Structure 1
Amino acid sequence: MGFCPISQMVSRVVEMLCVRHKTKVKGVDDGKKKKIKGTVVLMKKNVLDFNDMTASAIDRVCELLGKGVSIQLISADHADPANEGRGKLGKVAYVENWISSKASLTAKETEFTITFDWDENMGCPGAFIIRNHHHSQFYLKTLTLKDVPGHDSVHFVCNSWVYPTHRYKYDRVFFSNKTYLPCETPEPLRKFREEELINLRGNGEGELKEWDRVYDYDYYNDLGSPDDGPAYARPVLGGSQGYPYPRRGRTGRKRTKADPNSEKRLPLLSLNIYVPRDERFSHLKFSDFLAYALKSLFQVLHPEIASLCDKTINEFDTFDDVDNLYKGSVKLPDAKTVSKIRDRIPSAMLKELFRNDGERFMKFPLPDVIKDDKSAWRSDEEFGREMLAGVNPIIISHIREFPPASNLDPKVYGNQNSSITRDDIQGNMNGLTVDEAIEKKKLFILDHHDALMPYLQKINSTTTKTYASRTLLLLQDDGTLKPLAIELSLPHPQGDHHGAVNKVFTPAEHGIEGTIWQLAKAYAAVNDSGYHQLVSHWLNTHAVIEPFVIATNRQLSVIHPIYKLLHPHYRDTMNINAYARQILINADGVLERTVFPARYALEMSSGIYKNWVFTEQALPADLLKRGVAEPDSSQPHGVRLLIEDYPFAVDGLEIWSAIETWVREYCSFYYPTDELIQGDNELQSWWHEVRNVGHGDRKDEPWWPEMQTRDELVQSCTIVIWVASALHAAVNFGQYPYAGYLPNRPTVSRRFMPEPGTPEYAELAEHPDVAFLKTITAQLQTLLGVSLIEILSRHSTDEVYLGQRDTPGWTSDDEPLAAFERFRERLIKIEKKIIEMNDDKRWKNRVGPVNLPYTLLYPNTTDYSREGGLTGKGIPNSISI
């Protein structure tokens, strides 16, 4: 910029102007003065920011006019009676040499100096007020004070965007990195602490803008677009509408004309949906996300992309056609189609879709599941193994009775019990009887019957043609699971109350029977894929955590110990959830186009939320509920697995235990007695709001912890951290490795199992691959679906993993820092153990026929290289993608 060559002269002019500006602010003039040097680390607004190309130049002009960035220290030791007992304020100081500091063309931190006149009689600064008189915002990372009287240094961890002062109706206040319970807060800081929380709660009115720092609740009333017609209307989820759901962050946008209960949506390609500014992606994360999100917006090309599908429109004709997705062999559309596309999408997206070679686009990385062996995914052993070590390893359960029974109300749904008989499976049980297998706890089930059956009539009224499924499996002596039977069920054509219409299929390897068995496994995989995406992934991690994010920011001060414990596990969650509502789970969005429940997807997840239990999200409780573990006090984690070689559970219990130990050590430091928990008004308000507002549709359930004891606090915080970190990692980052190859985990079935005597049955016998591909996810859906899961499976290059913190000085208390270091060391030991087990040939389920080691719960604590991409390993602190 043109200011740099005359930076010294400009600095002197600024100093002169600032002297005049400073005299307008009342400070402290009495006592012994001392110069305190400070270092401010911040990130200026990027000069290449497409929202404001002139930000840097205008900010320099503001400096010349004496409108700089001021900071005023607040005493933690001495109150000002004339200011309602708030801490005394020091003199205003200004960030120095703003003009002479070159603006970065990329997101980059810059270090500035600042000098304070401080009265030694005022004690130690415990907070500060910052005023931004510039034109544009900046990201304030830290302030460090040196040579404070009686202290070597005082550190402030800020990590917040500061907008120009005219955007706020209050002062921006930041606190030092000391941690206080509300009752222990120094009196001069108490009002500042209370007022900051009031500001963050807002008043519940108006449309929120990017500079607003308001955390508030709303229903999921922004998924549909009823003004565009009935086909785009969707029910409101949450509240008294009959569709229970967790709450999401409020945006305050206007309501639609067709439905006053629904909120207007932003244009499809807009990603500017409101979340508090500090919850937005970093510049680096947003760049990573945008580069790959361009692919997920592929649906804007529909129906033009149909011209890409040669031979049979919208079909893969052979498995070679599927393989070509990973070889860059999908051809560009003709010139006419390209012209249409150019008129409909931004140039940035065109650059991604139409690659520089001018011939190919949409080349995908080769999924791990077919890297070593292109056909091993078809094996029964791999089919069973992925229930223990795949992308959805949290559903399989132990069979306690035979045949499996339904929990659906028989008055509404008739007889929904399984029709699988002993004769169906007896001959394939390695010499065991069914009763012996149950007694020895060797019979297991992947049950997607009750969750889907109430919605199948609606779902199958669309282009989807699918079943509710039950898959029975036998635990063999070598630890692998052997499929015994798959039951596919449909609602009775004469009405739900007549019960289910069931068909049972058993394993076969050759001929038409072998082909039918492969199809039966595909229908079961479709169910598992849809349930995984809607429930295991979206509902049980993304959606259920957002109310905790909101409540924590509304009710717990940044200097509260539980805020500091949980805050790293909320990073980017509100932002990615907002994007999901905009382009993924919305009406006619990516999920509806690629997963079998289609327009009934979120409605179905609401029905499943009715059975959500917070305490059962704890891993040991989940394993016990599913019957895959038994209580055993002799075991390190208090449970004994029925399937010893269960990679998700084995690694998960290690991670769970490490988290729980860390949380217990941390909470014990701040809460040596239960009375402190009971008397902590912020903590009690937080828990009351989580239960009664954030998860208000489940507020009256008896299983909620009362938050009266340290054990309840440890349990609750451990669950939140587990869900936001390890559980999400386990169900998210394996998506592309396993499901990037859609035949392995198809998301849609488009026709029912062919009946003997029909043309479809003849095709199944003569051209089994063609019939298989015609049944599962179509070509256009595959392109869109694979684009989506490639994005979701990528680690950002600025990821912060479990056992890491993005700011080292997050607290000034030594014992919590030491406990956190012990936590990190435990995770390092777990990493080594996972590698050893993956290399041990005894554990067949850790690698399997596809030769894909289980690393989804590998913490990645020691990797500070910030390697992004499809690594297939690493537990981020938070649900950040």
Structure 2
Amino acid sequence: MDTLSSTDGTRFGCASVVLFHLPNDGKLHPLAIVLDYKSSMDVSVTIFNRRLSSADTSIDEYNDWPWRYAKTCAQVSDWVRHEATVHLVYTHFVEESIIVAAHRKLPPRHVVFKLLEPHWKVTLSVNALGRSVLVPDVIANLVGMTPEQLYAFINDAYTNFNWSDFYISNDLARRGFPIIDLDKPKYHNCMYARQISPMWDTIRKYVSSVLAAYYPAGDLQVAADNDIANFCAEMRFSAGAGISGFPSAIKTVDELADMVTMCIHIASPQHSAVNYLQQYYQVFVPNKPSALYAPLPQTLQDLQRFTESDLLKALPILAQRDWLLMAEVPYLLSFAATEDQSLLTYAETAEKSKHVAFATAGKALKEDLLRLSKEFTELSSQMDSNSENAYNVLQPTSTANSIVI
């Protein structure tokens, strides 16, 4: 065992960059990997996949240890990116800023407060535990960077969060998934994109229905709403939420509907999508470790000499505590929300509201979510891997209504 890894507990991080190709058959294929990007390709170790397509069987990928090591580096980078920014910042911390700003600036009777409050259940308590225990005592001791570097990475992601960039139509488009093309064979495996888009539209329809009843004068009434103006200012204020990318003003019903939909989207389907699949992707540590446990090769020639033993040295085989936490934390965080915490249950509750606008919109939301459930089952069946793993994380009966874990 002493030959497999150092015993000093040193962890190494990397900033991998991967070039993928998505052909018309929808089989995503990696073409090249930069192990640890250092300002330019000239000074970064880059390796190209010897298999030019996923259908190429002429290369023995199983024993291609330099390429397998490079893929491990990419997974390490993705682990940190996912946990520290996509999960922690873009859902937990951004939603917390919404909750606090709303309590400071929106009266409880305000329609936006009423729309959002049901999606805040236990989120502040969960975040308090994450901030006091999970991040400093667990995550910071699993990644290949110092705690100070990790916190700087987290803070950078938060302060540079651009609100409207993450509206689903904008988010998917900038990542190369145009909504108009998602039903083409090329995207048949892109299940998050194919399901999150109609989910966004469904939530927005519900929100718009309620807002229409509370803003009968339309855009003029929204533009004159001082509470909304104060909320926007609080979200941007450096001593408030400090998200400078939040809209400086909301002047129309459509803009307000987008903003409210985004708040619900973050708390419910988006957090469900990034949280409840952690067990699937991360509990088998060799597939996705949080750090490397041996120094990275500094030249392509060094990398090309890698064998199986070099890959094993990079894994936390001797760091048993780290291995256990890498497996157990995503397992514990992936416990499914109970039925009473689901988005569908929220719709059923809204349908029973004493407020006519909420009851009418809630009834339509319930019907739309039940329709989506059938639609999502059909979409999931179209994936190449559906026989082994259906994509159920956005099913309305599974999607948590708020960030409860």
For residue 783 of structure 1, the aligned residue among 304, 324, 328 is 324
Matched with 1:657 is 201
Q: How far did 1:695 drift?
A: 5.5
For residue 312 of structure 2, the aligned residue among 745, 755, 773 is 773
Q: Give the Cα separation in 2 of the matches to 1:466 and 1:580.
A: 22
Q: Give the Cα separation in 2 of the matches to 1:796 and 1:620.
A: 27
C-alpha change, 1:548 and 1:500, in structure 2 (3 Å) is: farther
Q: Give the Cα separation in 2 of the matches to 1:818 and 1:553.
A: 26
> 1:691-723, CA deviations, whole angstroms, 9 ceiling, x for partnerless residues?
225765443x5x615122111110100111111
Structure 1 contact 760–771 (Cα < 8 Å) conserved: no
Q: Give the Cα separation in 1 of the matches to 2:290 and 2:163.
A: 28
> 1:662-689, CA deviations, whole angstroms, 9 ceiling, x for partnerless residues?
1111111111222322333333322322
Alignment-mate amino acid for residue 190 of structure 2: Y
> 1:451-506, CA deviations, whole angstroms, 9 ceiling, x for partnerless residues?
xxxxxxxxxxx933333222112222321111111122354xxxx7x986212212
Matched with 1:453 is none
Structure 2 contact 207–257 (Cα < 8 Å) conserved: yes
> 1:526-578, CA deviations, whole angstroms, 9 ceiling, x for partnerless residues?
00011000000001111111111012222223322211110111111111110
Alignment-mate amino acid for residue 781 of structure 1: D
Q: Give the Cα separation in 1 of the matches to 2:184 and 2:250.
A: 28
**Structure 1 SS opposite 2:46:** strand
Unaligned runs of 5+ in 2: 51-58
> 1:356-378, CA deviations, whole angstroms, 9 ceiling, x for partnerless residues?
xxxxxxxxxxxxxxxxxxxxxxx
Matched with 1:709 is 252
Q: Does 1:591 align with 2:132?
A: no
Q: Give the Cα separation in 2 of the matches to 1:628 and 1:808.
A: 33
Matched with 1:722 is 265
Higher strand share: 1
> 1:309-343, CA deviations, whole angstroms, 9 ceiling, x for partnerless residues?
xx559979xxxxxxxxxxxxxxxxxxxxxxxxxxx
Structure 2 contact 235–242 (Cα < 8 Å) conserved: no
C-alpha change, 1:785 and 1:501, in structure 2 (3 Å) is: same
> 1:581-622, CA deviations, whole angstroms, 9 ceiling, x for partnerless residues?
111122xx1001122334121211222334320111211111
> 1:54-102, CA deviations, whole angstroms, 9 ceiling, x for partnerless residues?
xxxxxxxxxxxxxxxxxxxxxxxxxxxxxxxxxxxxxxxxxxxxxxxxx
Taking the TM superposition and a 5 Å limit, the aligned residue runs for 1:237-248 are none
Q: Give the Cα separation in 1 of the matches to 2:372 and 2:216.
A: 29
Q: Give the Cα separation in 2 of the matches to 1:659 and 1:694.
A: 31
Taking the TM superposition and a 5 Å limit, the aligned residue runs for 1:350-499 are 463-491=10-38
Unaligned runs of 5+ in 1: 1-310, 317-461, 861-873
Q: Give the Cα separation in 1 of the matches to 2:100 and 2:354.
A: 25
C-alpha change, 1:746 and 1:524, in structure 2 (3 Å) is: same
C-alpha change, 1:312 and 1:563, in structure 2 (3 Å) is: same
Matched with 1:879 is 403
Matched with 1:742 is 285
Q: Give the Cα separation in 2 of the matches to 1:816 and 1:799.
A: 19
C-alpha change, 1:511 and 1:681, in structure 2 (3 Å) is: closer
Structure 1 contact 483–507 (Cα < 8 Å) conserved: yes
Q: Give the Cα separation in 2 of the matches to 1:775 and 1:466.
A: 11
Alignment-mate amino acid for residue 616 of structure 1: D
For residue 821 of structure 1, the aligned residue among 349, 363, 376 is 363
Matched with 1:565 is 115
Q: Does 1:519 align with 2:69?
A: yes
Q: Does 1:577 align with 2:118?
A: no
Q: Give the Cα separation in 2 of the matches to 1:507 and 1:689.
A: 49
For normalisation by structure 2, the TM-score amounts to 0.86
Taking the TM superposition and a 5 Å limit, the aligned residue runs for 1:39-438 are 312=2
For residue 236 of structure 2, the aligned residue among 668, 691, 701 is 691
Structure 1 contact 537–732 (Cα < 8 Å) conserved: yes
Q: Give the Cα separation in 1 of the matches to 2:356 and 2:101.
A: 28
Q: Does 1:669 align with 2:213?
A: yes
Alignment-mate amino acid for residue 396 of structure 2: P
Alignment-mate amino acid for residue 224 of structure 2: G
> 1:501-533, CA deviations, whole angstroms, 9 ceiling, x for partnerless residues?
212212355389601111100000100011000
> 1:601-645, CA deviations, whole angstroms, 9 ceiling, x for partnerless residues?
121122233432011121111112223326x5xx8x9x9997353
Give the RMSD, CA atoms, in angstroms: 3.2
Structure 1 contact 799–876 (Cα < 8 Å) conserved: no
Q: Does 1:547 align with 2:91?
A: no
Structure 1 contact 669–816 (Cα < 8 Å) conserved: no
Alignment-mate amino acid for residue 604 of structure 1: F
C-alpha change, 1:755 and 1:623, in structure 2 (3 Å) is: closer
Q: How far did 1:799 drift?
A: 4.8
For residue 167 of structure 2, the aligned residue among 608, 618, 629 is 618
Alignment-mate amino acid for residue 288 of structure 2: R
**Structure 1 SS opposite 2:189:** coil
Structure 2 contact 203–261 (Cα < 8 Å) conserved: yes
Structure 2 contact 45–300 (Cα < 8 Å) conserved: no
**Structure 1 SS opposite 2:160:** coil
For residue 335 of structure 2, the aligned residue among 794, 797, 807 is 794
C-alpha change, 1:838 and 1:807, in structure 2 (3 Å) is: closer
Q: Give the Cα separation in 2 of the matches to 1:733 and 1:671.
A: 36
Indicate the structure whose relative CO is greater, using CA pairs within 8 Å and at least 6 residues apart: 2
Q: How far did 1:831 drift?
A: 1.2
> 1:217-261, CA deviations, whole angstroms, 9 ceiling, x for partnerless residues?
xxxxxxxxxxxxxxxxxxxxxxxxxxxxxxxxxxxxxxxxxxxxx
Q: Does 1:857 align with 2:394?
A: yes
Structure 1 contact 547–690 (Cα < 8 Å) conserved: yes
**Structure 1 SS opposite 2:310:** helix
Q: Give the Cα separation in 2 of the matches to 1:471 and 1:748.
A: 17
Q: How far did 1:797 drift?
A: 3.8
C-alpha change, 1:698 and 1:837, in structure 2 (3 Å) is: closer
For residue 812 of structure 1, the aligned residue among 354, 357, 375 is 354
Q: Give the Cα separation in 1 of the matches to 2:300 and 2:196.
A: 49
Structure 1 contact 473–485 (Cα < 8 Å) conserved: yes
Q: Give the Cα separation in 1 of the matches to 2:263 and 2:274.
A: 16
Structure 1 contact 468–488 (Cα < 8 Å) conserved: yes
**Structure 2 SS opposite 1:596:** coil
Q: Give the Cα separation in 1 of the matches to 2:198 and 2:20.
A: 26
Matched with 1:324 is none
C-alpha change, 1:753 and 1:582, in structure 2 (3 Å) is: closer
Q: Give the Cα separation in 1 of the matches to 2:62 and 2:344.
A: 52
Q: How far did 1:756 drift?
A: 9.4
Q: How far did 1:853 drift?
A: 1.6
Q: Give the Cα separation in 1 of the matches to 2:377 and 2:62.
A: 41
Structure 2 contact 337–399 (Cα < 8 Å) conserved: no
Q: How far did 1:786 drift?
A: 1.9
Q: Give the Cα separation in 1 of the matches to 2:391 and 2:222.
A: 40
C-alpha change, 1:788 and 1:511, in structure 2 (3 Å) is: closer
Matched with 1:362 is none
Q: Does 1:603 align with 2:131?
A: no
Q: Give the Cα separation in 2 of the matches to 1:837 and 1:505.
A: 35
C-alpha change, 1:691 and 1:803, in structure 2 (3 Å) is: farther
Higher helix share: 2
Matched with 2:54 is none
C-alpha change, 1:625 and 1:705, in structure 2 (3 Å) is: farther
